[in-house]
Amino acid sequence: MPGKSADHSARRARLIDLIKARSFQEGPEFKLASGKTSTFYFNMKPTMLDSEGAYLVASLILDQLQGVDADLIGGLEMGAVPIASSVAAVAFTEGRNLPAFFVRKQAKEHGTQSLVEGLAKGESMAGKKVVVVEDVTTTGGSALKAADALKAAGADIVRVITIVDRLDGADEAFAAAGFKFEPLLTLSDFRS
C-alpha cells in the first residue's frame, strides 16, 4: 500500500526535523547516561512531551509493530514513560489494545513495593509479550536493565525500540542478549 509507506516517510522526516529543533544539541562534550562523553546530545523530553512529537513517535512505533504480537509496551522510568503512554493512546485510536507500563529503577519501599507499574490488581508480567521502549540508546544499558527485570517477572521481550540509536554498541548488546532491536532513527539521521 504505497500511501502508507509515503505517509510513514513523511512522518519520519517530520520527526527528524522536530528533534533537530527541540531535542538535539551539538557542541562541547556532554556526559551521557552510559558514562561516555559526546559532542552530540539528545534531550528527548521536549520532543516526547510535545503534542506532535508524541504522536509522531507513537505512530512510527506502531508502524514497526505491525504484525508483532505484543500485550504491553513500556520500559525503564523516566524515558520510557511518555513513549509508552503515547503509544498506548494512539494504539487505541487505531483499534489496537496495547497498554503501557514502566519499570522502576528500584522497587518502592511503601505500598505494593512493585518494580513494575501499570498492571491492574491481580495482573502480572508472567507470559506477557512485551515491547521495551527507550528514548535514546547508547550502549543499551537502561533498556537491558528493564528487559532483565521483565524477564525475571516472566515476560517475553518481543522487541526493543528506541527513538534514537546513537550507534555506540547497543545493537550488539541487544543481539548478545537475544533481543530484536529496532531504532526509529539513528545518529546518522542528525549528522550533516
Give the lowest-confidence range in 36-45, 149-158, 176-185.
36-45
Residue 17 lies in a domain: no
Cell numbers at residue 141, please? Answer: 544499558
> Please, which pLDDT band fits residue 47 given cuts at 50, 70 and 90?
very high
* Of 55, 31, 56, nearest in space to 43 by CA: 31
DSSP 93: H
Q: Tell me the three cell numbers of residue 79.
A: 524515558
Cell triple for residue 115?
Answer: 518494580
- Rounded to two decimals, the pTM is 0.91
Q: Which residue has the cell 524515558?
A: 79
To the nearest 10°, report the CA torsion of 53, 23, 46, 15.
0
List pLDDT tens digits, range 84-124.
999 999 999 999 999 999 998 765 555 555 778 899 888 99
Concatenated DSSP letters of 161-180: EEEEE-SSSHHHHHHHHT--
20 belongs to a structural domain: no
Q: Is residue 166 part of a domain?
A: yes
In angstroms, rounded to a whole number, what is the distance separating the alpha carbons of residues 83 and 61? 9
Q: How far is CA 55 from CA 4, 7, 148, in A?
A: 16, 13, 28
- Does 49 reside within a domain? no
Report the number of distinct structural domains present in the chain: 1
Residue 1 lies in a domain: no
pLDDT tens for 5-24 read 679 999 999 999 999 999 99
Look at residue 129 and tell me if it is in a domain.
Answer: yes
SS3 of residue 117 by DSSP: strand
79 belongs to a structural domain: yes
Q: Is residue 25 part of a domain?
A: no
In this structure, what CATH number is given to the domain that contains residue 123?
3.40.50.2020
Full residue range of the structural domain in which residue 186 is found? 54-190
